[in-house]
Chains A and B, each alone.
Chain A
Amino acid sequence: MCMNEQISKTKHLYSPEEAIGVIAAQSLSEPATQMTMRTYHFAGTAGIQVTLGLPRIIEIFDARKELATPTMEVYLTKDYQSAGKAKKVAENIKQVKLRDLVVSDVIDLTNLEIIAKLDSKMMKDLELDIEKVKKAIKLKKVKVEGEGSELRVASTTIDVKNLHKLKYKLMELHIKGIKGVSQVIVNKDRGEWVINTLGSNLKKVLKIEGVDPYRTKCNNMFEMLDVFGVEAARNTIIEQAKYTLDEQGLNVDIRYIMLLADLMTFTGEIKAIGRYGIAGEKKSILARAAFEETKKHLISASIRNDRDELSGIVENIMMNQVIPAGTGSFDLVGHIPKEPMAAAKPETSKPKKSAEKESKKVAKPKAVKAEKKVPAKKAAKAKKTAPKKTKK
């Protein structure tokens, strides 16, 4: 009875030595074959196009630093919960280039000047004036003059030829807001004003007044790592991967995504899945050589006199040995009596059920009569010694 209770409490748990990694990898990649390649999609109500589907999943697993579509979700503090105030904050976030303000521009060849007419209404909306614009122009060897809505920029050194270049440079100048944030959309989400952006810069956005630093986040795990730390980065990976899979209508247990996120972040920094990340930092030479860059790994191992301890899966497959996972982690210990037909004792396999599946092996083979069985003990011993070896 006692035993049964225990079994019923543990029957949903992982079997010891289950190869959880392979199952996680397959669970994440098998549905990927059903994903669309179609890159862009409107992210729900936000109205911002974000990368989705297979390209996004690959982006996450590769731990790319530059995302195709970086986005932020900016939450506001209680004092800023109104359409007008939210809009004000949004205006402070969105980047404004000089190009956005210019209505018309002329290159005055006689005076070597660029004369730009600015949109005064827009400037007013953005709380800008000509002085602020003039201040924002920080080009060297340039004389800036301006009055009302007219801006005159004269170069002190550049000749006619390069005036066009200067104009281009001028237009791309960053006047206001956060660099790289090209789109800002204010939404009401669950009774709260939220600003969604295309382009991200968490550090700067958090400094803007009215932004709630406790909930504001972005979809770039490296930025999250930088600003909030590794746990936040881990949560970003989980959230983004789950979101991408859900959006495609694919059902993957969140435990596998968490495992992957943990594997990518357990060292305190983000490691990618590919050859420059986890796969490339494995201890086993053979495992690395089997994956990619065979030559490099073998040669450098020979120079350093490395030793492969054969503690992983592929290495043992290569050696044609039983792998250290699943039933391969356990040994079968039994005493074979000299007389093959010695008094056949009925096997009691009940107490083992909870312990290891592999003890079932004992029950079947006809010839093997396990009399003194110590599988549990022996297996425990084996496990104790195994990690010790790897530590050396």
Chain B
Amino acid sequence: MVSRIKGIEFKMLDPEMIKSLAAVRIVTSDLYDVDGYPVEGGVMDPRLGVIDPGLHCRTCGSGIGDCPGHFGYLELAKPVINILYTKAIYKLLKITCSKCGRVLSKPEDNKKSKDLSRNPPGKCPYCGQEQGKIKFLKPNTFYEDKEEMSPEHIREWFERIPDDDLKRINFKGGRPESMILTLFPVSPVTTRPSITLESGEKSEDDLTHKLVDIVRINQSLRENMDIGAPDFIINDLWELLQYHVTTYFDNELTGIPQARHRSGRPLKGMIQRMKGKEGRIRGNLLGKRVNFSARTVISPDPRISINEVGVPDIVAKELTIEVPVTKLSMNEVKEAIKRDRANYAKRPDGRRIKISSENKEEILENIAEGWVIDRQLKDGDMVLFNRQPSLHRPSIMAHKVRVMPHKTFRISPQVCPPYNADFDGDEMNLHALQTEEARVEAAELINVKNNLISPRFGGPLIGLDLDQISGVYLLTRSKKKFNRKETSAILSKAGIKIDLPDGVAEFTGKEIFSLLLPKELNMEFKSTSCRQCDSCIKEKCEYDSWVKIKNGKLLTGTIDAAAVGAFKGKIISRMHGLVDTDTIRKFIDNAGRLGVAFMGQRGFSIGISDLDLKDDIMEQIGKRIVKAEKESNALIEKYNNKELEILPGMTASESLETRILNVLAEGLNSTSEIVKEHVKDSDFIVMVNSGSKGSLVNLTQMAACVGQEAILGQRIKRGYYNRTLPHFRQGDLSAAGHGFVRKGFKQELSPTELFWNIMNGREGLMDKSLRTRKSGYMQRRLVNALQDLRVTPSLAVKNSNGHIIQFVAGEDGVDPSKSEWGDVHE
């Protein structure tokens, strides 16, 4: 058992600690001698740790990877301020006495240090010393009564502050004089490894460059002090030393010119290393690069199950799983080696042997309990599958491996919705799990079949899609009877292994679908094709939209998106409380294949002529649009005559815009009514009615009229002076001049109309990119605020501080992912 880190304490480094940590005293700014060996006493001193493979550390004796690196120290010729602590220094100067160092208020005054620093008393209550006015000039200069304070002076001041007083103002991280550096800690070389370029030239880390600067200036400062150089030279050097030390810590301070590399690139200071998305914390500690992963393009395979993933054989050969050799696993292990299904064998002594066709016989002979082999991925292994952006939990789910030829990951089209994936070139990631615990948790907790219900809304995330829905819709709608032979043909084409009930000669489509339903299922609901009549006559519905299932038999109604679709399927969400998840998994698999199989048999096609409308209908539509345009022209005229009725809270022109938009939208609606009435009954209509794809709006836009194209929710009004395009007169307010497209896509769009359409399309693109960024940051903030919340065994919600946020999670303790649309299963 690995011991756990229980806590981390933060303190300031004081000179004693710097010295005791250090293995080397740094004395020279040289890095390497003429032969290319690191100079002792330089900042690349070999005692600071090893970064070259094969070498051993002069301090601890361990090799690369084991040696953690060791600090060095540098004695600064004159003290400098640690720039990270300037705020604390300023505060401390303000609230302590310049003479005796005590805090400028007695404990019994009960003053907060915040109030003290905001309003420091002019006199020390202990020694009566008058206090000077402390000023802080960013970035690193302090003044006492307009006189500049040297770091030495500040240090002496801080040394006088008694420990008890520091405790009182909650300054517990060490002595305040450590905020003024006298010893400088030189970080281990392992934290700033140098890179050897192909040319053999060594390229040093940013920190090393900075350290060289510090040591060099420090040296020349000391020399100048020793020879008694004039003050201005010493002060200049001192200031330079302060600059280098400052930029070593933080190179993004306002008021300090950034230290730059020779190429002009700003150097990375300590803070820059830690900060931000690619910094140490978010880039390396919270997110890591991993092994045992694969990424490739995804493509659909409707024949595999929803919780499977087709893995290319070349991927399966590369990804491995450790199998310890035991009595129980011996046969499996040997078989794997024989068939070249294992890549490495690890002996108990830690040696790793690559298994090849040459040495496999030898390994087979030697292998014994205690060895571990790296076995290749094989059918049935649980792996994690992920598509970015991982916006919610079901963006990562566990699938069962199915090794397949070719080079793409194959997934069932039904699992696209939770990943938000499609097959236009999307790539996905796969992770092979390395420990038994991980594999079991994956198989139980994040298996696709156990994540059918979204924790967001308690409905199914996974369901049939597109042609699968159209297929079952057509099947359950058709009046046709299928004899046993035809029925078997469809089922076998769908790969469904179900025995047909004896003694039934003919099956309706509904009966075939019923074969897939569990016997426990009883439910009634309205399907997508429901026309929302005023009074529902349920079973007697003339459109067959009332779905009634009794004991697993579909009695009336057509199965469509409302029954089995992703995000909607009522059958799936009802089954969730009724039968085990594997049964639902099989149902989704089979229903999808049944739909496609039936569609394959029936045939399915759409063509542009399906949207042809008779001439008189087109005329009718044209009239409606002309009418709408006339109405809007009438409004414009009224507006020009200042007779327009003004809507509350709006200016006249705003009222006009709103009214025109409404009039035109009404016109479009009425045309879409006509289209709905008169469009040919084609497979277009099948798609719309079953809810598999497309809507009435799409049909109308293609067949009759595209309608108003809007920018920022308003009619298009940008462009030239007083007009949108040169095609229109100045001051033209007409519908056509402001984005109204009167024709359908199937007819011709005029050049201006096409332009409106493209403008709208462009707005969509811009909106999308802006939205992703905004909502991405919102998600990060939300997760950060909420991530520590947990449900305790008593169903209360607590955060990591132990505060109770809710006494019962969600007020009733119901987990939406275990509910049916937020309600408890009956």
Q: Which residues of A contact B (CB under 8 A)?
A: 11-33, 35-41, 47-48, 54, 57-58, 61, 182-183, 185, 198, 251-256, 258-260, 262-263, 266, 273-275, 277-279, 282-287, 289-291, 294-295, 298-299, 301-314, 317-319, 321, 324-325, 327, 329, 340-341, 357, 360-361, 364-367, 380, 383, 387, 390-391
Say yes or no: is B797 at the interface (Cβ < 8 Å to chain A): yes
With contact pairs A11-B818, A26-B393, A341-B327 given, residues A319 and B813 touching in the complex (Cβ less than 8 Å): no
Contact A258 B811, beta carbon cutoff 8 Å: yes
Interface set, chain B 781-818, CB cutoff 8 A to A = 781-793, 795, 797-806, 809-816, 818
B458 touches A304 (CB 8 A): no
Residues of A near B119 (CB, < 8 A) are none
Contact B816 A255 (CB under 8 A): yes
**CB atoms of A33 and B775 under 8 A apart:** yes
* Interface pairs A-B: 6 shortest CB-CB: A21-B789, A255-B810, A21-B786, A29-B779, A305-B172, A312-B800
Taking CB atoms, residues of chain A closer than 8 Å to B279 are 294
Q: Which residues of A sit under 8 angstroms from B767, Cβ to Cβ?
A: 36-38
| Contacting residues, chain B, for A309 (C-beta < 8 A) | 6-7
Is there an interface contact between B445 and A327, defined as CB atoms closer than 8 Å?
Answer: yes
Question: B281–A364 contact, CB under 8 A?
Answer: no
In angstroms, Cα B393 to Cα A35, docked, is: 19
CB pair A391–B649 under 8 Å, yes or no, is no
Contact B8 A307 (CB under 8 A): yes
- Supposing A258-B811, A311-B800 touch, asked if A366 and B774 sit within 8 A by C-beta, the answer is no
Say yes or no: A263 contacts B10, CB within 8 Å.
Answer: no
Question: Is the CB–CB distance between B775 and A325 below 8 Å?
Answer: no
A266 touches B792 (CB 8 A): no
- Could you tell me if A289 and B281 are in contact, using CB atoms closer than 8 angstroms? yes
Instruction: Note all chain B residues with C-beta closer than 8 A to A312.
Output: 787-788, 800
B792–A16 CB distance below 8 A:
yes
- Contact A259 to B787, CB < 8 A, known contacts A47-B647, A361-B440: no
List the B side residues contacting A304 at CB < 8 Å. 10, 170-173
User: Which A-chain residue is minimally distant from B445 (CB atoms)?
Assistant: A357
Residues from chain B with Cβ under 8 Å of A302 in the complex? 10-12, 173-174
Complex: chain B residue closest to A286, CB-CB: B8
**Given contacts A14-B795, A37-B771, is CB(A58)–CB(B648) below 8 Å?**
no
13 CB contacts below 8 A, A to B, read A18-B790, A27-B457, A29-B783, A183-B649, A252-B457, A255-B812, A258-B806, A287-B800, A301-B10, A308-B9, A312-B787, A314-B286, A325-B790
Nearest opposing residue in chain B for A264, CB measure: B785
Whether, in the assembled complex, B85 has its beta carbon less than 8 Å from a beta carbon of chain A, the answer is yes
Question: Distance in Å from the Cβ of B735 to the closest Cβ of chain A?
Answer: 21
B455 at the binding interface (Cβ < 8 Å):
yes
**In the bound complex, what is the Cα–Cα distance between A30 and B437 (angstroms)?**
29
Q: Chain A residues near B649: list those with CB within 8 A.
A: 47-48, 182-183, 185, 198
Q: CB of B505 within 8 A of chain A?
A: no
Within 8 A of A (CB), among B205-264: 250
Q: A259 touching B789 by the CB < 8 A rule?
A: yes
Given the complex, which residues of A lie within 8 Å of B805, measured CB to CB? 259, 262-263, 266
| Cα–Cα distance between A284 and B276 once the two chains are bound (Å) | 18
Residues of A within 8 A of B10 (CB): 285, 298, 301-302, 304-308
A390 touching B458, Cβ below 8 Å: no
**A310-B809 in contact (CB<8A):** no
B-chain residues with CB within 8 Å of residue A262 when the two chains form the complex: 797, 805-806
Q: How far is the CA of A41 from the CA of B818 in the complex (A)?
A: 35
Q: Is B608 an interface residue (CB 8 A)?
A: no
Measured in the bound complex, the distance between the Cα atoms of B11 and A298 in whole Å is 10
Please determine whether A30 and B456 come into contact, CB atoms closer than 8 angstroms.
yes
Q: Taking CB as reference atom, which chain B residue is nearest A186?
A: B648
Tell me the nearest residue of chain A to B4, going by C-beta: A321
> With A37-B770, A299-B85, A360-B444 known to touch, is A27 a contact of B455 (CB < 8 Å)?
yes
| Distance between Cα atoms of A324 and B812 in the complex (Å) | 24
A305 contacts B11, C-beta separation under 8 Å: yes
B contact residues around A260 at 8 Å (CB): 782, 786
**Residue in B458, B791, B824 whose CB lies within 8 Å of A14:** B791
- Closest CB-CB distance, A173 to chain B, in whole Å? 21
Of chain B, the residue at the smallest CB distance from A26 is B392
Q: Is B127 close to A, CB under 8 A?
A: no
In the assembly, what is the distance between CA of A332 and CA of B782, in Å? 32
A377 → chain B closest CB, angstroms:
13
With a cutoff of 8 Å between Cβ atoms, the chain A residues found around residue B8 in the complex are: 285-286, 307-308, 310
Chain B residues with CB under 8 A of A321? 4-5
Docked pose: A277 CA to B279 CA in angstroms: 23
Beyond A22-B783, A307-B7, is A13–B795 a contact (Cβ under 8 Å)?
A: yes
**Do A294 and B814 touch (CB < 8 A)?**
no
Known A16-B792, A289-B274, A366-B326; further 19 A-B contacts with Cβ < 8 A: A12-B814, A12-B824, A18-B791, A20-B810, A25-B785, A29-B391, A39-B713, A253-B810, A255-B811, A258-B811, A286-B8, A305-B11, A307-B10, A313-B787, A327-B445, A340-B326, A361-B440, A365-B437, A387-B802
* CB pair B792 A383 closer than 8 Å: yes
Per-residue CB proximity of B590-623 to A under 8 Å, as 1/0?
Answer: 0000000000000000000000000000000000
Q: Give B8's nearest chain A residue, CB to CB.
A: A308
Known: A25-B783, A54-B774. A294 touches B281 (CB 8 A): yes
User: Does residue B285 face the partner (Cβ distance < 8 Å to A)?
Assistant: yes
How far, in whole Å, are A305 and B66 apart by their CA atoms in the complex?
30
Can you name the residue of chain A whose Cβ is closest to the Cβ of B801?
Answer: A283
Choose one: A21, A198, A318; the contact of B285 (CB below 8 Å): A318
**Residue of A with least CB distance to B649:** A183
- Across the interface, do A40 and B173 meet the contact criterion of CB distance under 8 Å? no
B532 at the binding interface (Cβ < 8 Å): no
Give the nearest-CB partner of B250 in chain A. Answer: A295
* Residue pair A16, B791 in contact (C-beta under 8 Å): yes
Q: Is B436 an interface residue (CB 8 A)?
A: yes
Contact A27 B815 (CB under 8 A): no
Nearest chain A residue, comparing its CB with the CB of B768: A37
Does chain A have a CB within 8 A of B486? no
Q: Which residues of A contact B459 (CB under 8 A)?
A: 251
In whole angstroms, how far apart are the Cα atoms of A254 and B456 in the complex?
9
Q: Is B193 close to A, CB under 8 A? A: no
Tell me how far the C-beta of A357 lies from the nearest C-beta in chain B, rounded to whole angstroms.
Answer: 7
Question: Which residues, 278 to 310 on B, are CB-close (under 8 Å) to A?
Answer: 279, 281-282, 285-286
* Cβ-defined contact, A24 with B789, below 8 A: yes
Chain A CB within 8 A of B555 CB? no
- In the complex, the answer to whether A21 meets B788 with C-beta atoms within 8 Å is yes
Among B5, B282, B444, B782, which residue has the most Cβ atoms of chain A within 10 A? B782
Within residues 1 to 54 of chain B, which ones have a CB less than 8 A from any CB in chain A?
Answer: 4-12
User: Residues of A contacting B772 with CB < 8 Å?
Assistant: 33
B281 to chain A: closest CB distance in Å? Answer: 5
B765 at the A/B interface (Cβ < 8 Å)? no
Query: By the criterion CB–CB under 8 Å, are A30 and B391 in contact?
Result: yes
Decide: A25 and B815 in contact? CB cutoff 8 A. Answer: no
Docked Cα-Cα span, A150 to B580, in Å, equals 83
Report how far A64 CA is from B795 CA in the complex, Å: 31
Q: At the interface, yes or no: B712 with Cβ under 8 Å from chain A?
A: yes
Say whether B376 faces chain A, with CB atoms less than 8 Å apart.
Answer: no
Q: Chain A's nearest CB lies how many Å from the CB of B342?
A: 19
Interface residues of B in 416-434 (CB under 8 A from A): none
Cα(A18)–Cα(B797), bound, Å: 9
- Would B797 and A259 count as touching, CB distance under 8 A? yes
Which residues from 564 to 595 on chain B have a C-beta closer than 8 Å to any C-beta of chain A? Answer: none
Residues of chain A lying within 8 A (CB to CB) of residue B172: 303-305
Which residues does chain B contribute within 8 Å of A364, judged by CB atoms? 436, 440
Q: Given that A26-B779, A251-B457, A259-B797 are known contacts, is A15 also in contact with B791, CB under 8 Å in the complex?
A: yes
Does B643 sit at the interface, judged by CB under 8 A? no
Q: Using CB atoms, name the residue of chain A closest to B713.
A: A38
A285 to chain B minimum Cβ distance, whole angstroms, is: 6
Separation in Å of the A27 CB from the closest CB of chain B? 4
Using known A-B contacts A25-B783, A32-B778, A295-B84, determine if residue A183 contacts B648 with beta carbons closer than 8 Å: yes
Judge whether B800 and A390 touch: CB under 8 Å.
Answer: yes
Which of B174, B793, B825 lies at the interface centre, i.e. has the most chain A CB atoms within 10 A of its CB?
B793
Check A390/B787 contact, CB under 8 A, given A23-B393, A29-B782, A251-B456: no
